[in-house]
């Protein structure tokens, strides 16, 4: 098991770094790579789905990104303590019929001493949007550093 800095206990700066690293990884949409940021026995609740361990994380993300096309995500720290971070996020995606959505959510994260996430609890709501209402227009992949964050976008 490899370490994933920054490590707990978190500061405002390191919590923000951790959230940006998670955002970058998810925007890369590589399930196997993303799963390495979680402990081998990580436990998730994502909406009403319960996931345990890296193999299930890979399977979950593979299904997710096969359905949620042109996925772009922004995360922002809401609060943090020693080994926990509460983040809020919004992502835009379209389905295979071309309908766009903005999905809003909150995540509670708990980390081990090596900086791996051992627990992820996510609540998410999907809002259908018109393509003209999209706010995320960067090329697929990492959000550019000069692109506004959630608060800057009024989200």
Q: If you average pLDDT over residues 31-51, what whole number do you get?
A: 97
**Cis peptide, bond prior to residue 6, ω within 30 of zero:** yes
CATH 3.10.450.50 assigned to 12-133: yes
Given a cut of 90, whether residue 141 has pLDDT beyond it is yes
Q: What is the DSSP string of 45-95?
A: EETTEEEEHHHHHHHHHHHHHHHSEEEEEEEEEEEE-SSEEEEEEEEEEE-
Give 63-100 pLDDT, tens digit per residue.
999 999 999 999 999 999 999 999 999 999 999 999 99
Partners of residue 85 on adjacent β-strands: 80, 109
The whole-angstrom separation of Cα 44 and Cα 46 is: 6
In 3-state terms, what secondary structure has residue 98?
A: coil
pTM of the entire predicted model: 0.97
- Asked whether residue 149 carries a pLDDT value surpassing 90, the answer given is yes
Confidence band (pLDDT; 50, 70, 90) for 2?
Answer: confident
Burial class (CB within 10 angstroms; exposed 0-12, middle 13-18, buried 19+) of 56: middle
Percent of the chain with pLDDT over 90: 99
| Residue 154, SS3 per DSSP | coil
Tens of pLDDT, residue by residue over 97-108, are 999 999 999 999
Q: Are strands 38-46 and 84-94 parallel, antiparallel or unpaired?
A: unpaired
Q: How confident is the model at residue 1 (pLDDT cuts 50, 70, 90)?
A: low
Nearest CA to 124 among 81, 80, 60, 34? Answer: 60
Tokens of 6: 């920054």
Q: For the residues 22-31, what does the mean pLDDT come to?
A: 98
């Amino acid at each position: 098991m490899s370490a994933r800095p920054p490590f707990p206990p978190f500061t405002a700066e390191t919590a923000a770094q951790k959230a940006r690293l998670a955002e970058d990884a998810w925007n890369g949409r590589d399930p196997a790579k993303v799963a390495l940021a979680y402990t081998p026995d990580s436990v998730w609740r994502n909406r009403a789905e319960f996931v345990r361990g890296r193999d299930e994380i890979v399977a979950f993300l593979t299904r997710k990104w096969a359905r949620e096309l042109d996925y772009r995500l922004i995360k922002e720290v809401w609060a943090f303590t020693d080994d926990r971070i509460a983040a809020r996020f919004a992502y835009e995606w379209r389905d295979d019929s071309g309908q766009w959505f903005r999905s809003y959510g909150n995540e509670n994260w708990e980390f081990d001493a090596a900086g791996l996430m051992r627990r992820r609890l996510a609540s998410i709501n999907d809002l259908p949007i018109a393509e003209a209402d999209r706010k995320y227009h960067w090329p697929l992949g990492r959000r550019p550093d000069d692109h506004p964050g959630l608060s800057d976008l009024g989200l």
